[in-house]
Amino acid sequence: MANADCTVCPELLMRLGASAGGLRALAAFIESEMVEPTMPWRDLLPTLALRARNLAEQAEGR
């Protein structure tokens, strides 16, 4: 069995933290659009998709 003592990569922690912050911001954006919309619904889904894609790329380190 592999050694149980391992270190966590600081870059990974940074990416996870940034991704978590991005997800919180995305959730806040969705909630605010549900309360007081700033764009038509047909424009909202592409905007959400773009933000989610950017978060995924950020998590991958791109």
Does a structural domain hold residue 6? no
Chain mean pLDDT for the chain: 85
Q: How many domains does the chain have?
A: 1
Q: pLDDT of 9-62, one tens digit each?
A: 887 888 888 888 989 999 999 999 999 999 998 999 999 999 999 988 888 877
Domain containing 43: what range? Answer: 11-60
Among the listed residues 45, 44, 62, the one whose alpha carbon sits nearest the alpha carbon of residue 54:
62
In a domain, 4, yes or no: no
In a domain, 1, yes or no: no
Residue scoring higher pLDDT (36 or 1): 36
Residues making up the chain, counted from first to last: 62
Whether 52 is in a domain gets the answer: yes
Q: Is residue 3 part of a domain?
A: no
- pTM (2 decimals)? 0.71
